[in-house]
Each structure stands twice: as structure tokens, then as C-alpha cells.
A and B are shown apart, each in its own frame.
Chain A
Amino acid sequence: MFEKLISILAKTDGDYADLRYEIKRETWITFDGKELASIGSGTTDGYVLRILKDGGFSSISFTRETDGDRAIRIAQGDASIISKNRKDPVRLAGADVIQDMSFPDLEEDPREITMEEKLDLTRNYNNIPLQNQKVVSTNISYREVIRNKYFMTTEGTRIREDLITTSIGGIITVKSGNSIQSVRCGLGGSNGFKDLRNGEDEFEKRTSLAVRLLDAKPVESGLYSVLLNPRLAGIFTHEAFGHFSEADLIEDLPTMREKMRIGNMLGSDLLSIKDDPTLPGQLGFYKYDDEGVRARPTQLMKNGALTGRLHSRRTAASFDEPLTGHCVAEDSRYAPIIRMGTIFIEPGKKSPEELLEDLNDGYYFLDSKGGQTSGENFTFGAQYGYRVQKGKVRELVRDINLSGNLYETLQNTHGIGIDLQLSKIGGCGKGQMNMRSCFGAPHILIKNVVVGGI
């Protein structure tokens, strides 16, 4: 394969070029209720070429090798347009030349598990909610994504890396009268098929939660102090802070760049946040990013002070900061962009029980329904919650969406738990989907959060 890449790269005429060829094989099994809706596998493949020429940096993705010459012409033309239309040329930070291969060390390789066994396991999990009479439907899928990546640069880097991600999960929907409630459930990871076994408890608990939510009251909108469990605090870390550690988002946004200067005190002194794609066995693991830079742990915040950010080669040069290896693509349709790998709040000293006591009156919110950010403001949903009165958990509540201001909320973080957990299923849709986006946190206590309710 590399010979083919060499022959394409040899035709480029620039200061730098890199080329990634990638094969992505997906296997899926989907149940809609009791029906097996789909089962099979499919393969996509293609090339992504990036060219730096006279300070203009452009990219093109293409499917067919026979489109290589045309793609080179377009990418070089685009680089020239950028070069002529920018006063400050694009530069790339210097990176080590690497020649390496990296294959995941799996606990049970899903490629060695038969389709029948995958089907049986998915059916077993799907049957758990279906036994409950309140469950009107499920949408439970097995998903296996295998990426075989070949990357090389005109500087001499040549990397072959595979990434394998598996999950079983989806949505359980219950109905009573006019009330419909849906709960997300799932298992997964990048550590092999073993991540998916013995997950009955997850599906049983989620089914029970969905049924209990039918009788729960919607949370009353207002301003509250809240305790977030690790699954929810992880999405808070990702949405409220993580995206602004991605240097490409703030590179050309001077007002945000000023606020995000290294050394600025952004959070309470309890808060320390790190991103580490090298943590073994975690969903977000990779060895090299899609620019061929070795991933490395990056301390983003230490005791409330901003200490680092996530970079591509382009932004590391622009900010004059060290490379971190966080420039990642979804697949062969895309040039890489800066993504979080495994971002987490480092554990503190308090137990969840102590944090509940500290909360006194407010809400305890649990598990995530996804979130979104627009700079200083963010929104994210909680799957469920409990009203807390005098440090005691009271009734179940639902329909929870929280909104906040990045800077105020980080300052308002008043307690950090000891119980760090990292996510097993990820997902971030910043322009491209990153299913290996991993996030985590211990329990955290935040004061003055706007809760939307319905």
C-alpha cells in the first residue's frame, strides 16, 4: 500500500504534503423492538491528501486512485488561492519523523467472534427491556468499526495503525397514557469484544429507570446548585471546557483567544483537567493522530489555571505551543481536525455522600443525554435526577436540561469527588463524528446552574 501512496505523493509540488489511505469496515446488527431490522457489514475506503505550498494549506479527499492526479491539481490550486489571500502564511510545527506500526492489544478480537455469537448477544440484551410490558419499543444495535490506516508524509513519516471500536446499545422507549420516555443504554469500548460481555445489569437498570421515569415529575426550571454524577460530569467537561481547549476553534477568534490565555485562572482551585489519549484500554486510545504526531497526555487546567491546549501541527505553530497529537479524522472522507481524546477532571477528595451533604438543597443529576456549546455558553441534558433536600435524596425528576456560562461555571465548581469514571461509549459531532471521543469525571458539585425543565 505504501508504494501506492509514495507514487501519489511523488507527484505533489509543495513545501509539504501528507497522504492517508484508510479502509473502514463496519459490522452492524440492529433490533427494532423484537424485529431484527438489519444485519451485515460494509466497507468504505479512500484517500485524504493535504498540501502546504507557499503558506497555503489545503486538503482534498477522494475515493478512487484514478482521481489522484485530479485531486493533486485541485489541492495545489486551493493551496495557491489560500497563499495569495492570506497575509500570514500557514506554518506547521516541526514533528518527529516516525516509521511505526500500531495494532490494538485486544481482549477478544471481534474479528474472531462469529456473526451468530454477536447476534445472540445483541438479541439477549434486547430481550431484557422487551420483557417489561411498559416498553413499547427498543432500538438496540451492535456496532463494530475497524479502521486500517496508512499514513505518510513527504518528510518521511510512515505509519500503519489500526483502531477497533465496538458497542452494543441504543434506546429503550416506554409509554403510559400520553407520556413517552426514552432512556439511552449501552456498553462499549476499544479494548475488544470482552467490553461487551456480562452487560445484563446495564440493560436491566436502564429498563427499570425508563419505567420509573413515567411517574417522575418534570424538573422545575430555575437556578439551582447541582451535583453531577461521573457520567454527566464527563459530558460537562467535554462541552463546557474541552471544546475551548481545541486550538482550531479559537485560533481566529481573538476575544476567546484572549480569555483562554495560558496562565489565566478560569476555574476554582479544585479543578484540574487533563486529556490523555494514551490511557491504555480506554475508548479514546490511539498512538498516533492523523497527522502522524504521537499522542501525549496534556494538562489543560491545574488548580483552576489554564496550563495547555490541544493542537494540530498548524495551531501549535500559530500559538507557539507544544504539539499534543490531537488532530483526528472520522474516516477517509475528511481531513483531520482537533479533537479531544480522553478528557477528564482529575479526582478530588470527597465521597459522593459528602458532596450530597455539601449540596444541602438542590438537585442530583445523573447520566447524559448529550450537549452542545457555543463558546462561553453550553447546554447539556441529564437522563434523570433527584431533588435533594438537606443533603438527602428525595423524589425522581425528569426532562432535565442545563445551561451555563463556561467561565462562571468553572469558578462555581465547589466540590470534586474521588470516584473518577471514564465513558465506555462516546460521540462528538464537531463537523465530523468521533465515536471514540472519551470523557470522564468524578462526581462534581456546581453552584448556580440554570435548569430549563419543560
Chain B
Amino acid sequence: MEELLKMVHKVSDQAEVYAIEEKKSKVTFENGKLKNIESSIQSGMSLRVIKGKKLGFVYTKNLIDREAFIRSATESFKAGAEGQIEFPSTGNVHSLNTYDPSIESLTNMRIVEECRRLFDRLKGRSRGQINIEAGSVTKRIRILNSRGTDLSSNISEYRIIPFTLYPGSFSALSRVFLGKSFEETPEEILDHILNLFSASEKEVKIKAKKMKVLFLPETMYVLIWRLKSATSGRSLYHHESPLSEKIGEKIFHEKLTIFDDPLNDRSPGARAFDDEGIPCRFLPLVKKGVLKNVYYDLCYAKKLKAEPTGHGYKTDMWETETISIRPRPALRHVVIETGDLTLSKMIESIDHGIIVGQALGAHSGNIANGDYSIGLSPGLCVENGEIVGHVKDTMVSGNVYETLRNVISIESTTHHAPCGRFPALLVDDVMVSTKKV
């Protein structure tokens, strides 16, 4: 990498090399059967070069021809993409514990045994089909640039997700257990999905109207996705955000505090620096309902004359190959601060409402506007403080800037979920549409 950096710096003003090595395995159990074990050993690198005000970007996996690779990079900046950024000169960053070496001795056989153990624990207690996904990832990221930045990080992750499925569909309740290496799955994860499932086995009908809606942590991404879009430097720069010039204004209920916490290394995936070599930091987004900050990568910080916040990541929503993505503003460690009620107490407080167990179609609403309109898969019906069954053919819809003003209560624990770590959230006055009874 050092040699490549030297070579490319000779033909440019600034240069950056990003390299990743990754090893993964994934085990799938369906209906008690070990269905698949898939493994992967991947590596690759990408190169950003700047000359004058132009930025070039290329990537490769097997670096067969180094000269040709550098030639592609120079051709790319000659064509004229804007690149008035300066790569950072980052020395010390926070020392984080992101890697547990014991993951190296974790075998696929051990993961299979844990899946089998979970299946046996769940099957006796549930009439629903049990599926389980589990796997491990180790990766090493390194960033070198021509201003002397040389950062690297080793990351390890183990995950397991049990699902209980409703008959005739993939509609399921689930909860992920994450660690930096293998640990036995805690009983409370199994109890959570079994309790919700057994209480909601019966299919029930409801009438369409506005009502209380409880978003489980697994579905909070539907709402957070809209907030992430609106607080991105990219959206602000392109006038696509309804939150432009609203820093300091109350946008949500005062019970809501939301922040990005990349430095918390108790969870897997903590980051001391982003994919551009900018140091990561704790970033309050919303404090007691008031919008506090937005986030930037290098490019949009420059365009908006702001300081980069350490949120330039090579990521997208479709698991595109990391090296092929240019850094863009992204929040990857979002947390909603806990409230003061257990999930049971929150459910007990609902006279008539719906629990969103999993969401369908979160990507197809008007995200920029904050609108959402999702299918429930499943939706659990609550009457007089008790779950009485599950509903089909039902949608929940609204606008995040209205919905999150109507917060009733927040769960007292956070859970790992898509997009971050969230508690369950109970809100009022959300439209639920369904077939006529």
C-alpha cells in the first residue's frame, strides 16, 4: 500500500489508499434443518486522487497491473469530477476495543451447535416455525493518505437472529444478539419473541382509524431512516431536507433524545475514524426534542463551509461492494436514549393499538419529506393492555415529524436493530389502514 501511495502521489497533488480484508461465514437454519453454510474471504482497495480541483476514484480487488490501476485513477480526475477537498492529517485517534481475538477460533461447527441449541429451546415452546441465521465477520480496514495519515482497525462481530414465523408467510418476530465474539444467546431474547408470538397467534381484525402504535426496536429504522436523510450534509446542500435551518428548533417530543455514538466499543462495529480518516466523535442529533446537529463527510463539509464530523463512510443500503463506493455522509451508530418503562408496561398502557413487529416497504415512501407508509409483517393488536392477536393486510402511515411529536413512552432498554440501537417507542395518533371488518 505504501508503494502504491508513493506511485500515485507522484502524478497527483493528494492521494489516499483505502484497503479492506474481510472473512465471513453465515449459517442458516430453516424449520430445524441446517440449510446452508456460506463462507467468504474477500479483499480489495480503492484509490482517491486529487489534482488541482479534480478528484479521481478507482478500485480493484486483485491488483494485477499497478501501473494500469494508477492510469485509471489519473484518467478519472482528468474527466473533471469536482474535488476541492483536502485529505486529513490524522495522528492519534481514540483507542477502541473493536476486536476479540477469540473469534479466530470460533468454528462454523460451534455456530451450528448454538443454532441447534436455540432451535431446541424454541421449538418446544412455540407452534410457529423457527428459522435461525448466525455468522461471524472479521475485517481489517486501513487508510493511508499523502498527508501522513496511516490508520487501521481490526473489527470482529458475531451475530445470531432467531425468527418465529406466522403460518403461511415469512411474517416473523425476531431479535438479534450481537457480540464481538461468540457468547451463548441470552434467554431474554428467546423469551421476548416467544412471549409476543404466543400472545398474538390468533388472527384478528381491526377497524381502520388513527390509534396508538408501538414500534418495536426492529422497526425503528423506518422512522430513523427519514431523520438520517434530513440531517445529512448531502440533503442540506441539495435543499432536499425539511430540517434546513432548523438547528435549535424543537422538531420532536421532548422525551426524545437521539445521538450517534461511534466510540461506544461495548457494541461491535465501533469506529475511531471514518472511511476518510477523520476521527469519529459522539454527536448529539436531537436532545429533548430539539435538533442539535447535522453530519458531514469531507466533501459536503467543504461545500457547506462546515467541519467534517467523521461521518464519511463507504456504505449504501444494498450491500454494494465496499471498495466500489465513494465515501458519503452516513450515520452508522445511531442510539435513541432510553425511557422509563419496560416493554410489558408499555403494552399494558395501550387501550387500543397496534405493535409494529416488522415493517414492509420502508424504502418506498417519500423519505425526503419524512413520510412513511409500511405494511405490517406482523402487526400485533393490543386491546385493554393485552396482545389479543395479529392482523393481516394492514398498513401504518404518517410523517415522522408528526409521529415523533406524539411520543407517549419509551422503553427502558435499548436493543441492537437495523440502523442502530433503539428502545421500543409508543406513539399516539398514527393512521392504521386495513380491510373492512
Residues of A whose CB lies within 8 Å of any CB of B are 26, 32-33, 35-46, 57-65, 67, 70-71, 74-75, 77-78, 81-82, 85-86, 88, 115, 119, 136-137, 173, 175, 178-182, 221-223, 249, 251-256, 259, 331, 333, 335, 369-381, 398-399, 401, 403-405, 408, 429, 432-433, 448, 450-454
Which residues of A lie under 8 Å from residue B208 when comparing CB positions? 221-223
Residue in contact with B392 in the complex, picked from A178, A373, A405, CB distance below 8 Å:
A405
A136-B238, A374-B170 as given contacts; A37 in contact with B82, CB under 8 Å: yes
Residues of B whose CB lies within 8 Å of any CB of A are 25, 30-31, 33-44, 46, 55-62, 72-73, 75-76, 79-82, 108-109, 112, 116, 129, 165, 167-172, 208, 234, 238-240, 242, 318-321, 323-324, 326, 358, 360-369, 371-375, 377, 392-399, 431, 433-436
Please tell me if the beta carbons of A81 and B371 are within 8 angstroms of each other in the complex. Answer: no
Task: Identify the interface centre among B37, B56, B82, B436: most chain A CB within 10 Å of its CB.
Answer: B37
**A431, closest chain B residue (CB):** B319
A223-B436, A377-B375, A401-B373 as given contacts; A64 in contact with B364, CB under 8 Å: no
A175-B239, A221-B433 as given contacts; A58 in contact with B168, CB under 8 Å: no
Known contacts A64-B62, A452-B397, then 16 further A-B pairs from the complex at CB < 8 Å, ordered by chain A residue: A26-B324, A38-B55, A41-B58, A43-B61, A59-B39, A221-B397, A252-B30, A255-B169, A256-B169, A370-B364, A372-B362, A374-B358, A377-B393, A379-B364, A379-B374, A408-B393
Residue in contact with A81 in the complex, picked from B108, B362, B393, CB distance below 8 Å:
B108
Please tell me if the beta carbons of B238 and A253 are within 8 angstroms of each other in the complex. Answer: no
Please tell me if the beta carbons of A39 and B169 are within 8 angstroms of each other in the complex. Answer: no
Complex formed: what's the CA distance from A310 to B182 in Å?
A: 37
Please tell me if the beta carbons of A454 and B371 are within 8 angstroms of each other in the complex. Answer: yes
Main secondary structure of the interface of B (DSSP, over half): mixed
Sampled A-B contacts (11; CB under 8 Å): A38-B81, A42-B60, A42-B323, A58-B36, A64-B41, A81-B37, A182-B366, A404-B393, A405-B393, A450-B395, A454-B398
Complex formed: what's the CA distance from A252 to B372 in Å?
A: 33
Please tell me if the beta carbons of B319 and A70 are within 8 angstroms of each other in the complex. Answer: no
In the complex, what's the smallest C-beta–C-beta distance from A357 to chain B, in angstroms?
25
Which residues of A lie under 8 Å from residue B25 when comparing CB positions? 78
**B369, closest chain A residue (CB):** A180
In the complex, what's the smallest C-beta–C-beta distance from B302 to chain A, in angstroms?
12
Please tell me if the beta carbons of A377 and B377 are within 8 angstroms of each other in the complex. Answer: yes
A182-B366, A399-B373, A452-B395 as given contacts; A222 in contact with B39, CB under 8 Å: no
Complex formed: what's the CA distance from A453 to B361 in Å?
A: 13
Residue in contact with B43 in the complex, picked from A64, A249, A369, CB distance below 8 Å:
A64
Which residues of A lie under 8 Å from residue B434 when comparing CB positions? 223, 450
**B317, closest chain A residue (CB):** A429
**B432, closest chain A residue (CB):** A221
Please tell me if the beta carbons of B375 and A372 are within 8 angstroms of each other in the complex. Answer: yes
Complex formed: what's the CA distance from A32 to B298 in Å?
A: 16
Please tell me if the beta carbons of B238 and A61 are within 8 angstroms of each other in the complex. Answer: no
A39-B76, A64-B43 as given contacts; A173 in contact with B361, CB under 8 Å: no
Please tell me if the beta carbons of B361 and A381 are within 8 angstroms of each other in the complex. Answer: yes
Which residues of B lie under 8 Å from residue A75 when comparing CB positions? 39
Which residues of B lie under 8 Å from residue A67 when comparing CB positions? 41
A85-B112, A403-B394 as given contacts; A371 in contact with B364, CB under 8 Å: yes
Please tell me if the beta carbons of A44 and B168 are within 8 angstroms of each other in the complex. Answer: no
Please tell me if the beta carbons of B43 and A401 are within 8 angstroms of each other in the complex. Answer: no
Which residues of B lie under 8 Å from residue A371 when comparing CB positions? 361, 364
In the complex, what's the smallest C-beta–C-beta distance from B41 to chain A, in angstroms?
4
Which residues of B lie under 8 Å from residue A57 when comparing CB positions? 36
Please tell me if the beta carbons of A253 and B30 are within 8 angstroms of each other in the complex. Answer: yes
A82-B34, A374-B360, A454-B397 as given contacts; A429 in contact with B168, CB under 8 Å: no
Please tell me if the beta carbons of B397 and A331 are within 8 angstroms of each other in the complex. Answer: no
Please tell me if the beta carbons of B431 and A42 are within 8 angstroms of each other in the complex. Answer: no
Which residues of B lie under 8 Å from residue A65 when comparing CB positions? 62
Enumerate the 8 nearest inter-chain pairs by beta-carbon distance, A residue then B residue, closest first. Answer: A375-B169, A381-B364, A379-B361, A379-B375, A40-B76, A137-B238, A452-B395, A252-B30
**B79, closest chain A residue (CB):** A39
Which residues of B lie under 8 Å from residue A454 when comparing CB positions? 365-366, 371-373, 397-399, 431
Complex formed: what's the CA distance from A370 to B399 in Å?
A: 19
Complex formed: what's the CA distance from A167 to B311 in Å?
A: 29
In the complex, what's the smallest C-beta–C-beta distance from B372 to chain A, in angstroms?
8
Complex formed: what's the CA distance from A58 to B321 in Å?
A: 22
Complex formed: what's the CA distance from A58 to B108 in Å?
A: 12
Please tell me if the beta carbons of A403 and B395 are within 8 angstroms of each other in the complex. Answer: yes
In the complex, what's the smallest C-beta–C-beta distance from A127 to chain B, in angstroms?
16
A401-B395, A454-B399 as given contacts; A35 in contact with B321, CB under 8 Å: no
Task: Identify the interface centre among A85, A182, A223: most chain B CB within 10 Å of its CB.
Answer: A85
Complex formed: what's the CA distance from A417 to B25 in Å?
A: 47
In the complex, what's the smallest C-beta–C-beta distance from A61 to chain B, in angstroms?
5
Please tell me if the beta carbons of A60 and B360 are within 8 angstroms of each other in the complex. Answer: no
Which residues of A lie under 8 Å from residue B44 when comparing CB positions? 44, 63
**B76, closest chain A residue (CB):** A40
Residue in contact with B239 in the complex, picked from A63, A77, A137, CB distance below 8 Å:
A137
Please tell me if the beta carbons of A40 and B374 are within 8 angstroms of each other in the complex. Answer: no
Task: Identify the interface centre among A61, A333, A371, A403: most chain B CB within 10 Å of its CB.
Answer: A403
Complex formed: what's the CA distance from A432 to B73 in Å?
A: 28
Please tell me if the beta carbons of A62 and B41 are within 8 angstroms of each other in the complex. Answer: yes
Complex formed: what's the CA distance from A46 to B396 in Å?
A: 43
Please tell me if the beta carbons of B392 and A429 are within 8 angstroms of each other in the complex. Answer: no
Complex formed: what's the CA distance from A353 to B79 in Å?
A: 49
Which residues of A lie under 8 Å from residue B108 when comparing CB positions? 77-78, 81
Residue in contact with B365 in the complex, picked from A42, A377, A399, CB distance below 8 Å:
A399
Complex formed: what's the CA distance from A67 to B42 in Å?
A: 10
**A58, closest chain B residue (CB):** B37
A180-B368, A253-B30, A403-B394 as given contacts; A380 in contact with B168, CB under 8 Å: no
Which residues of A lie under 8 Å from residue B75 when comparing CB positions? 40, 115
Which residues of B lie under 8 Å from residue A408 when comparing CB positions? 393
Which residues of B lie under 8 Å from residue A253 when comparing CB positions? 30-31, 129, 165, 170
Task: Identify the interface centre among B58, B73, B208, B371: most chain A CB within 10 Å of its CB.
Answer: B371
Please tell me if the beta carbons of A78 and B37 are within 8 angstroms of each other in the complex. Answer: yes
Residue in contact with A450 in the complex, picked from B56, B234, B240, B435, CB distance below 8 Å:
B435
Which residues of A lie under 8 Å from residue B240 when comparing CB positions? 136-137, 173, 175, 180, 182
**B238, closest chain A residue (CB):** A137
In the complex, what's the smallest C-beta–C-beta distance from A19 to chain B, in angstroms?
15
Complex formed: what's the CA distance from A397 to B431 in Å?
A: 18
Please tell me if the beta carbons of B369 and A179 are within 8 angstroms of each other in the complex. Answer: yes
In the complex, what's the smallest C-beta–C-beta distance from B359 to chain A, in angstroms?
9
Complex formed: what's the CA distance from A374 to B75 in Å?
A: 45
Complex formed: what's the CA distance from A259 to B366 in Å?
A: 35
In the complex, what's the smallest C-beta–C-beta distance from B330 to chain A, in angstroms?
16
Please tell me if the beta carbons of B360 and A379 are within 8 angstroms of each other in the complex. Answer: yes
Which residues of A lie under 8 Å from residue B72 when comparing CB positions? 40-42
Please tell me if the beta carbons of B435 and A256 are within 8 angstroms of each other in the complex. Answer: no
Please tell me if the beta carbons of B435 and A223 are within 8 angstroms of each other in the complex. Answer: yes
In the complex, what's the smallest C-beta–C-beta distance from A306 to chain B, in angstroms?
15
Which residues of B lie under 8 Å from residue A433 when comparing CB positions? 318-320
**B116, closest chain A residue (CB):** A85
In the complex, what's the smallest C-beta–C-beta distance from A399 to chain B, in angstroms?
6
In the complex, what's the smallest C-beta–C-beta distance from B20 to chain A, in angstroms?
11
Please tell me if the beta carbons of B61 and A36 are within 8 angstroms of each other in the complex. Answer: no
**A78, closest chain B residue (CB):** B37
Complex formed: what's the CA distance from A402 to B385 in Å?
A: 30
Please tell me if the beta carbons of B368 and A375 are within 8 angstroms of each other in the complex. Answer: no
Which residues of B lie under 8 Å from residue A223 when comparing CB positions? 208, 433-436
**B379, closest chain A residue (CB):** A377
Please tell me if the beta carbons of A448 and B320 are within 8 angstroms of each other in the complex. Answer: no
Which residues of B lie under 8 Å from residue A179 when comparing CB positions? 369
Which residues of B lie under 8 Å from residue A252 when comparing CB positions? 30-31, 33, 35
Residue in contact with B42 in the complex, picked from A137, A222, A333, A403, CB distance below 8 Å:
A333
Complex formed: what's the CA distance from A58 to B34 in Å?
A: 11
